[in-house]
């Protein structure tokens, strides 16, 4: 690791967090409730408009987009952030990390266990953070090149299209659960049987809901609703996958070895989070639709601060990084996404 | 029907009940509407003395009528955070039927997390209340009843007296202990004395008058009703046992840190599967691990929320910034909290 005054870095970033924490309150509670209201509005407008497609096909298109926005809000700004514990302090019976379950194929508690623990604690440590490349893509020289990497761009496209299923499969460490792949020092906090049950149960619920119950409720408009749900899910999958890839797999994102991170101090942990993430510039609506993961750096530094506070702290974080000579990886969507694609293609080859 | 609704809600909307899924939407039209709670509108707030308030609430129509002596859980949103406390209703059912209102008399604590903010509640704003709870109610069959109140423990007795008919045959004597000049609602007690010929009361304070035992007429007490702090409750229990007087009691116990957090101490932790004793010098997670309690954990630094559990009661300290939690129900992370009082946790 680079020579940075890690103790000072930790002190400065802790101070930023504390400053914001004193402000967290009514405004944040009102905000998340407002987002939930808008999510319900988009979702239900979408579902109703899908059925009006037989009368005016344009309404069906609007319905698909509306439902997709509803699903994106549920997944990103509400589900991801609430399940991170960002709103646990509200003591709300439903808006908390224990109770909230999102509207995607991945079981919330499985995600919570793997994402919140493995990914956020061991961010970009090769061998410990399974999210780096999701075990499918070779995105650095830390991994040995294999022939299958030659077509990893196609694998990436397929993963994006089926992202909710990919996440579900990945979070349960399916290669271990289904195929018995061994890993040293593996700590099974949940039994394989339980993981399988959750995987199939949540996945089945999503399939039945979107492709049987809602289409059946539409009666003769079964296909309109079936296709609308399919496309809305596809749009949500593509969006979330793209945003998440931009947060961790841009060109300048670093990886770390287990050796480097042994006995890591708080300051070193912050440093790793900083170099393991990248931000996206954009307007307010864009940040909301990304669940504020466009501020991936701030999210990784302070994962349980309400995400709407990230834009407020970003300039302070950037200033602290500058003072310590740490690269603050940010850029416009197309630039960052371009560098993700470049990275996927670059490491397709030895 | 409820089961079908729950099934649909769980499988289609991923919520325990449908009302939870629509709650934020319903709140747009009905402020403070919450699944599992009743709403009540703040109708007046009156300062009774330096540290006591009388809050008059108008519960929504479907709220069940209470019996004098019962209590409710009052929930308010303070800085976005829902906080609940239990208070005895200080008015009778008669008043509720006639006016639709109930009174709460609340002792405020300057450094508390709840009561200092009650005075700031806006007129006609909405709060949440539970259904009336408790079995501390008046037995009208008794002929001689002694009431023993301590501090704000006067409230259930005010409600009971409020509901009594003027022709009651029960001879009631109230012994009311409070700090000198700290007796609440004395003018109301005086009115009761005029309206109820068989009612009398004495205002007492511990330092000047000593124990209540010398004021209880054993031969004229068929039943003793006690509402006050823990110590009063314990003393009354012993007294009644020795004199074979039936007793019914409601006591309140303010949970506060008893000593500096730097001073080593041990506290009891009640869990959903067995109890244990922990030190306040280490995190709850380390303490649980040293007692071989099976507990899920992850990062050990308060990031991943894997060791999160529900604290039902008690106060914990956040190791990261030294802040103390509230005493009410909330989610905590075991790896970054230490016990400051006895706790009740749901792992």
Cβ neighbours around B214 below 10 Å, total: 7
* pLDDT above 70 as % of chain A: 95
Q: What is the ipTM of this complex?
A: 0.88
Name the residue among A60, A138, A74 with its Cα closest to residue A106: A74
Min CA distance, B297 vs chain A (Å)?
A: 9
Residues of B in contact with A91 (CB under 8 A): 81-83, 328-331
B301 interfacial to chain A (CB closer than 8 Å): yes
Q: How far apart are CA B293 and CA A322, in angstroms?
A: 45
* Token pair belonging to A274: 């900083």
pLDDT at B283 over 90: yes
Does the domain at B144-252 match CATH 3.40.50.80? Answer given as: yes
Convert the pLDDT of each residue in B102-117 to its tens digit: 999 999 988 788 898 9
Could you tell me whether strands B316-318 and B247-252 are parallel, antiparallel, or unpaired per DSSP bridges? Answer: unpaired
Read off the pLDDT of each residue in B245-262 and give the average, rounded to a whole number: 70
Residue B51: its pLDDT value, please? 87
Find which of A237-246, B161-170, B314-323, B335-344 is predicted with most confidence, using mean pLDDT: A237-246
Residue B22: its pLDDT value, please? 94
A23 interfacial to chain B (CB closer than 8 Å): no
Cβ neighbours around A310 below 10 Å, total: 23
Read off the pLDDT of each residue in B222-238 and give the average, rounded to a whole number: 89
Confidence of residue A185 (pLDDT cuts 50, 70, 90): low
B122 interfacial to chain A (CB closer than 8 Å): no
Convert the pLDDT of each residue in A53-110 to its tens digit: 888 999 999 999 999 999 999 999 999 999 999 999 999 999 999 999 999 999 998 8
Residue B230: its pLDDT value, please? 85
B31 interfacial to chain A (CB closer than 8 Å): no
| Phi and psi, residue A89, nearest 5° | -65, -15
A227 lies in some domain: yes
Convert the pLDDT of each residue in A19-58 to its tens digit: 999 999 999 999 999 999 999 999 999 999 999 988 899 9
Q: How far apart are CA B185 and CA B189, in angstroms?
A: 7
* Token pair belonging to A21: 């924490």
A235 interfacial to chain B (CB closer than 8 Å): no
How many Å separate Cα B148 from the centre of its chain? 19
A252 lies in some domain: no
pLDDT at A186 over 80: no
**A85/B305 CB distance under 8 A:** yes
**A88/B23 CB distance under 8 A:** no
pLDDT at A175 over 70: no
First to last CA, chain B: 31
Stretch (H or E) spanning B224: strand B223-229
Only one residue has tokens 């002694």, namely: B146
* Token pair belonging to B227: 């509402």
Min CA distance, B294 vs chain A (Å)?
A: 11
Closest CB to A40 among B25, B80, B308: B25
Name the residue among A34, A10, A38 with its Cα closest to residue A87: A34
Read off the pLDDT of each residue in B114-143 and give the average, rounded to a whole number: 90
Name the residue among A271, A275, A241, A280 with its Cα closest to residue A255: A275
Cβ neighbours around B168 below 10 Å, total: 16
**Homologous superfamily assigned to B266-346:** Beta-grasp domain (3.10.20.30)
Residue B256: its pLDDT value, please? 63
| Phi and psi, residue A7, nearest 5° | -65, -40
Residue A188: its pLDDT value, please? 61
A149 lies in some domain: no
Q: Which of A94, A187, A216 to mutate to test the interface with B (most CBs of B within 10 A)?
A: A94
* Token pair belonging to B333: 């992370």
**B305/A213 CB distance under 8 A:** no
First to last CA, chain A: 26
Pick the CATH number of B36-129 from 2.40.50.140, 3.40.50.880, 2.60.120.380, 2.40.30.10: 2.40.30.10
Domain residues for the domain of A67 are: 25-104+203-237
pLDDT at B140 over 70: yes
Residue B255: its pLDDT value, please? 61
Name the residue among A82, A109, A77 with its Cα closest to residue A94: A82
Q: Where are the alpha helices (DSSP H) in chain B?
A: 2-12, 18-29, 93-99, 115-118, 155-163, 186-195, 206-209, 230-243, 284-290
Counting the structural domains of chain A, the total is 1
Convert the pLDDT of each residue in B14-70 to its tens digit: 998 888 999 999 999 999 999 999 999 999 999 998 889 999 999 999 999 999 999
Convert the pLDDT of each residue in A267-306 to its tens digit: 999 999 999 999 999 999 999 999 999 999 999 999 999 9
Question: A249, A153 in Cβ contact below 8 A?
Answer: no
Name the residue among A173, A59, A28 with its Cα closest to residue A110: A173
Q: Which residues pair with B200 in a beta bridge?
A: B173
Question: B325, B289 in Cβ contact below 8 A?
Answer: no
Q: How far apart are CA B347 and CA B335, in angstroms?
A: 13
Helix axes A333-346, A222-248, angle to 10 degrees: 80
Confidence of residue B139 (pLDDT cuts 50, 70, 90): confident
Could you tell me whether strands B52-59 and B71-78 are parallel, antiparallel, or unpaired per DSSP bridges? Answer: unpaired
Residues of B in contact with A96 (CB under 8 A): 331
Residue A183: its pLDDT value, please? 60
**B81/A112 CB distance under 8 A:** no
Read off the pLDDT of each residue in B192-208 and give the average, rounded to a whole number: 91
A4 lies in some domain: no
Only one residue has tokens 């309150």, namely: A25
**B27/A33 CB distance under 8 A:** yes
Read off the pLDDT of each residue in B306-325 and give the average, rounded to a whole number: 90
Confidence of residue B273 (pLDDT cuts 50, 70, 90): confident
User: What average pLDDT does chain B have?
Assistant: 90
User: What average pLDDT does chain A have?
Assistant: 93
**Order of strands, edge to edge, in the sheet holding B247-252?**
B199-204, B171-177, B144-150, B223-229, B247-252
Q: How far apart are CA A295 and CA A239, in angstroms?
A: 16
Closest CB to B304 among A26, A36, A116: A116
Closest CB to B303 among A102, A208, A303: A303
Question: B184, B48 in Cβ contact below 8 A?
Answer: yes
Read off the pLDDT of each residue in A131-160 and give the average, rounded to a whole number: 94
A94 lies in some domain: yes
Question: B174, B200 in Cβ contact below 8 A?
Answer: yes
Q: Where are the domains of chain B?
A: 1-30, 36-129, 144-252, 266-346
**A102/B14 CB distance under 8 A:** yes
Read off the pLDDT of each residue in A139-163 and give the average, rounded to a whole number: 96
Name the residue among B204, B209, B241 with its Cα closest to residue B224: B241
| Phi and psi, residue B246, nearest 5° | -60, 140
């Amino acid at each position: 690791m680079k020579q940075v005054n890690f103790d000072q870095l930790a002190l400065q970033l802790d101070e930023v967090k504390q400053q914001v924490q004193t402000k967290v309150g009514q405004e944040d509670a009102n905000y998340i409730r407002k987002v939930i209201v808008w999510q319900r509005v988009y979702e239900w407008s979408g579902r109703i408009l899908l059925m009006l497609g037989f009368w005016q096909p344009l309404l069906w298109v609007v319905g698909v987009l509306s439902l997709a926005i509803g699903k994106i809000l549920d997944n990103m700004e509400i589900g991801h952030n609430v399940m991170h514990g960002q709103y646990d302090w509200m003591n709300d019976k439903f808006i908390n990390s224990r109770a909230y379950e999102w509207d995607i194929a991945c079981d919330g508690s499985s995600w919570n266990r793997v994402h919140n623990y493995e990914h956020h604690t061991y961010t970009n440590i090769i061998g410990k953070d399974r999210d780096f490349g999701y075990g499918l893509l070779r995105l650095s020289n830390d991994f040995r090149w294999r022939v299958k990497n030659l077509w990893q761009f196609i694998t990436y496209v397929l993963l994006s299209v089926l992202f909710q299923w990919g996440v579900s499969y990945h979070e349960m460490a399916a290669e271990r659960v289904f195929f018995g792949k061994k890993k040293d020092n593996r700590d099974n906090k949940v039994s394989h049987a339980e993981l399988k049950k959750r995987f199939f149960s949540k996945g089945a619920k999503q399939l039945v809901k979107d492709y049987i119950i809602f289409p059946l409720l539409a009666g003769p408009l079964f296909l309109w609703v079936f296709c609308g749900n399919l496309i809305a899910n596809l749009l949500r999958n593509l969006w979330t996958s793209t945003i998440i890839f931009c947060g961790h797999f841009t060109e300048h994102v670093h990886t770390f070895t287990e050796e480097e991170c042994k006995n890591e101090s708080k300051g070193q942990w912050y440093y790793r989070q900083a170099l393991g993430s990248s931000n996206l510039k954009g307007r307010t609506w864009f940040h909301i639709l990304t669940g504020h993961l466009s501020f991936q750096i701030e999210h990784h530094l302070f994962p349980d601060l309400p995400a709407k506070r990230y834009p407020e702290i970003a300039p302070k974080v950037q200033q602290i990084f500058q003072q310590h000579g740490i690269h603050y990886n940010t850029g416009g969507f197309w630039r960052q996404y371009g560098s993700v694609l470049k990275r996927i293609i670059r490491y397709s080859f030895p | 029907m409820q089961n079908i609704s729950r099934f649909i809600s769980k499988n289609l909307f991923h919520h325990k009940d449908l009302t939870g899924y629509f709650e934020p939407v319903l709140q747009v039209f009905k402020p403070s509407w919450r699944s599992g709670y009743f709403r009540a509108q703040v109708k007046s707030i009156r300062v009774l003395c330096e540290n006591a308030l009388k809050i008059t609430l108008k519960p929504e129509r479907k709220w069940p009528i209470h019996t004098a002596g019962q209590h409710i859980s009052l929930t308010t949103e303070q800085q976005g955070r829902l906080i609940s406390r239990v208070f005895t209703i200080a008015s009778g059912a008669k008043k509720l039927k006639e006016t639709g209102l109930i009174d709460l008399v609340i002792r405020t604590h300057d450094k508390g997390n709840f009561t200092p903010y009650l005075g700031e509640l806006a007129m006609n704003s909405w709060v949440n209340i539970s259904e009336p709870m408790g079995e501390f109610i008046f037995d009208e069959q008794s002929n001689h009843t002694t009431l023993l109140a301590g501090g704000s423990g006067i409230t259930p007795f005010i409600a009971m007296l409020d509901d009594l008919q003027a022709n009651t045959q029960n001879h009631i004597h109230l012994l009311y202990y409070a700090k000198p000049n700290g007796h609440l609602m004395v003018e109301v007690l005086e009115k009761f004395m005029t309206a109820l010929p068989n009612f009398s009361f004495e205002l007492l304070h511990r330092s000047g008058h000593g124990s209540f035992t010398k004021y209880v007429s054993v031969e004229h007490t068929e039943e003793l009703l006690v509402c006050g702090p823990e110590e009063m409750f314990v003393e009354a229990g012993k007294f009644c046992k020795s004199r074979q007087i039936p007793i019914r009691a409601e006591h309140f116990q303010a949970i506060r840190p008893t000593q500096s957090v730097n001073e080593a101490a041990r506290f009891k932790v009640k869990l959903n599967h067995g109890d244990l004793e922990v030190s306040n010098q280490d995190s709850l997670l380390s303490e649980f691990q040293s007692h071989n309690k099976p507990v899920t954990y992850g990062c050990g630094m308060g990031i991943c929320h894997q060791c999160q559990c529900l604290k039902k009661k008690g106060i914990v300290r956040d190791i990261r910034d030294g802040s103390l939690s509230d005493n009410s129900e909330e989610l905590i992370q075991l790896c970054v909290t230490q016990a400051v009082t006895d706790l009740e946790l749901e792992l």
